[in-house]
Amino acid sequence: MFRTVFHFLLFVLSLAAGSTAFAYSHADTLRGSNGRGRAWWNVKRYELTATFDTASRSISGSNEVSFTVTAPPADSMQIDLQEPMILDSVLLVSQVFPSVPAHAALAHEGNVWWVKYPFSKLKRDSVYTVVLYYHGTPRAAVNPPWDGGFSWKRDSLDHMWIAVSCQGFGASSWWPCKDAQWEEPEEGMSISLTVPAGMQAVSNGRMVSTGSGGGNTTTTWQVRNPINNYDVTFYIGDYVHWTDTIMGEKGTLDLAFYVLSYNEARAREHFAVVRQMIRCFEYWFGPYPFYEDGYKLVDAPYLGMEHQSAIAYGNGYKMGYKGIDRSMSGYGLKWDYIIIHESGHEWFGNNITAHDMADNWIHEGITSFSESLFTEWLVGREKGQKYSRGLWRGIDNEKPLIAAYGVNDEGTGDIYEKGAAVMHMIRVMMNDDERFRQLLRGLGKEFYHGIVTTQQVEAYIMRMSGLSLQPFFNQYLRRANIPVLEYYVKEDVLHYRFDQVWPGFSLALIASADDVQAPLTVTEQWQTIPWKGGPAARFTNDYLIKVRRLEQ
């Protein structure tokens, strides 16, 4: 996802206000951990249906869940469906226990429904199916996509325009599932949407059927790849669409664009950047990860989201972030922020997914770094680097990038810019762009359609870069503060060290003044070198550090 400076400030202030009193609840643990009702089964496939009643702003439907038993089962299955949604019943599609009622007993605990059944008799490594029937009035979005839910809007021609955004808030806000970031249906899913006749429903993957009857239109979309729950989406409105193709690294990639009817002319021109974006990101990150499902860009009634194979677009056909250069570098208005950032998530967030939300710097940091790579693609390396450094002014350094595990906590907004700075600095330290490019491409290959932890990503980067980066990662991911370079000059000698750093942390920098330059390897220990540059020095600006000149 993404954020604005304004919303981030509100986020930081709210954290600060509640930092001394906040405690995680039992509900947070149920949602964020792999507890007894989750640990014994893995989702194999979802078959989701949803019927929309636009008059009452309610939905009803079912989700057929195929799952594999992977461990000795508990006495219940945890199904997530948030209030005020209601799980009506659970049908057990199996002939294993003909003497047991087909519909399981249910117990309701807040946003969790416990399905009671003699699961202990199920066979390990076997596949079973349950059908979850549900209905209700989903939570309306307060400030989408940050404070998400359903957006019930009308376009400029007064046509109904409906969409959902639920990252963090959870897919279980509108459909029953195993709502855990690490759990993706390994065989994909189908999404069948029934809406009033005259409206069009767009979703992830490829359309496989559409038909009308009873005053409604039902459209079914097929997703062939694993997909994160929060990426499952829909867009309902008065859409027109066109298609295109691009010859990519894995062959022909199908592109599709769905826009409100009156946006078509400017969208055809504005969305032409998608072809450049695909070429740039395939060069740096490897093949687009979802050729089987294609790539779509869809007009949305909110700013944007990285919905897999169906990117939400709502940036008003402006360059930058709603017409603003977030980096203040002069180069952030060369491209549309929402198209580039949200599409970048197809590689980092959708293809490679953090096991726990606490590690979402992997999603947002590397994707934010992709913005500078695209800037470089358009206007050159030096300008791309300037864009990258320009984002650093938005970093607050108030919390570590890695949040608390097991409680559905994404943590600080610094996962965007500070996470991007981590990747920028690794590139600088490697000092070999081709090796760095292969490292990025290798991430996509090594963890293709995979669930990862920070430790796995760290180990991979250290192995591929050949650099001993553990103190570096500990400093920038596990501490809030950034290194402080302290120095002073006395009698033509430069004294320097790092303060407030993780043990073993060091960086290779260059000190300069006028025509004087000196390479330094700065650690937490005081060191000295002869210095003819006067009482002050400048230091390499490609690292996220503070510089403090001491008076002696």
> 330-364, pLDDT tens digit by residue?
999 999 999 999 999 999 999 999 999 999 999 99
The answer as to whether 469 is a domain residue is: no
Predicted confidence (pLDDT) at residue 20 exceeds the cutoff of 90:
no
At 95 the pLDDT is 58
Q: Where are the alpha helices (DSSP H) in 61-219?
A: none
Q: What is the dihedral of CA 51, 54, 58, 60, to 10 degrees?
A: -10
Task: Output the CA torsion sign for 302, 305, 309, 315.
Answer: positive
- Give yes or no for a contact between 177 and 112, defined as CB atoms under 8 angstroms apart: no
At 22 the pLDDT is 56
Give the chain's length: 552
Percent of the chain with pLDDT over 70: 95
Is the backbone peptide bond immediately before 84 cis, with ω within 30 degrees of 0? yes
The answer as to whether 452 is a domain residue is: no
pLDDT digits (tens, 9 = 90+) for 449-465: 999 999 999 999 999 99
The answer as to whether 431 is a domain residue is: no
The answer as to whether 423 is a domain residue is: no
Count Cβ neighbours within 10 Å for each residue of 33-42 and write b for 16 or more, e otherwise: bbeebbebbb
Instruction: Report, as an integer, the average pLDDT of 402-428.
Output: 97
The answer as to whether 242 is a domain residue is: yes
Distance separating alpha carbons of residues 56 and 137, to the nearest angstrom: 8
At 94 the pLDDT is 65
Predicted confidence (pLDDT) at residue 527 exceeds the cutoff of 70:
yes
Which secondary structure element, helix H or strand E, spans residue 486, and what is its range?
Answer: strand 484-489
Domains identified in the chain, total number: 2
pLDDT category at 23 given cuts 50, 70, 90 is confident
- Give yes or no for a contact between 420 and 391, defined as CB atoms under 8 angstroms apart: yes
- End-of-domain residue from the set 311, 343, 375: 343
- End-of-domain residue from the set 317, 343, 369: 343
Instruction: Report, as an integer, the average pLDDT of 363-379.
Output: 98
- End-of-domain residue from the set 328, 343, 358: 343
At 324 the pLDDT is 97
**How would you classify residue 323: left for phi > 0, otherwise alpha for psi between -120 and 50, otherwise beta?**
left
Predicted confidence (pLDDT) at residue 21 exceeds the cutoff of 90:
no
At 552 the pLDDT is 77
404: Cβ contacts below 8 Å, ≥ 6 apart: 24, 358, 411
Give the pair of three-digit tokens for residue 342.
Answer: 């949200």
**Maximal CA-CA distance, the chain:** 92
The DSSP bridge partners found for residue 60 are: 51, 135
At 313 the pLDDT is 98
Instruction: Name the residue with higher pLDDT: 550 or 15.
Output: 550
pTM to 2 decimals?
0.94
Sheet containing 160-165: order of strands: 149-154, 160-165, 234-237, 200-203
**CATH assignment at residue 248:** 2.60.40.1730
Task: Output the CA torsion sign for 385, 368, 464, 446.
Answer: negative
Instruction: Report, as an integer, the average pLDDT of 53-69.
Output: 97
Distance separating alpha carbons of residues 379 and 157, to the nearest angstrom: 39
Instruction: Report, as an integer, the average pLDDT of 277-284.
Output: 98
The answer as to whether 199 is a domain residue is: yes
At 6 the pLDDT is 36
Instruction: Report, as an integer, the average pLDDT of 514-520.
Output: 93
At 107 the pLDDT is 96
- Give yes or no for a contact between 314 and 299, defined as CB atoms under 8 angstroms apart: yes
pLDDT category at 250 given cuts 50, 70, 90 is very high
The answer as to whether 447 is a domain residue is: no
Predicted confidence (pLDDT) at residue 306 exceeds the cutoff of 60:
yes
Which residues span the domain enclosing 268? 5-343
Instruction: Report, as an integer, the average pLDDT of 272-296.
Output: 98
Q: How far is CA 428 from CA 378, 420, 435, in A?
A: 20, 13, 12
pLDDT category at 12 given cuts 50, 70, 90 is very low
The DSSP bridge partners found for residue 517 are: 512
The answer as to whether 348 is a domain residue is: no
The DSSP bridge partners found for residue 507 are: 522
Distance separating alpha carbons of residues 257 and 158, to the nearest angstrom: 21
